[in-house]
Amino acid sequence: MFDVRREKNNSLPTSNKALFWRAYKKNKLDVIGLYLFILLMFIVYILPYIIHTDAFSTHINSRLLPPSWIEGGVLQHFLGTDELGRDYLSRLLLGTKNTLNAAFINFGYSRSYWMPYWNLWWYL
């Protein structure tokens, strides 16, 4: 019936996080999506500090440069520049960062605002 000598099975997760991760990692597309999301967060929030280009500074001498892989392009402006000499990559990263910040703020607001209503709904 009950074996006192039996050892505890340490291979089974005991915390909720461990149970969640064990179930989550079974779906490979979910894990790939998580890694791509982490990569996107790194690119948007860390890369601007690495490349050191300002999205608003103008360089009249560097106007309308093509991307760096086309002849005439420079590596300093990887995606090229616009009519005023502003770097396309830094502007793209700034726009993506602003969009993600707005999405996170909206998510947090909606979650904090609607959570009492959802709790009430499930209680009734």
Listed residue (78, 79, 86, 39) closest to 62, CA to CA: 86
Summarize the confidence of residues 104-114 as an average pLDDT. Answer: 89
* Residue 105 zone, left/alpha/beta (φ > 0; ψ -120 to 50; rest): alpha
Strand locations in the chain (E): none
The single residue listed with the structure tokens 């915390």 is 15
Q: Comparing 29 with 117, which gets the higher pLDDT?
A: 29
pLDDT band at 65 (very low <50, low <70, confident <90, very high): very high
pLDDT band for position 105 (50/70/90)?
A: very high
Indicate the pLDDT class of residue 120, thresholds 50, 70 and 90. confident
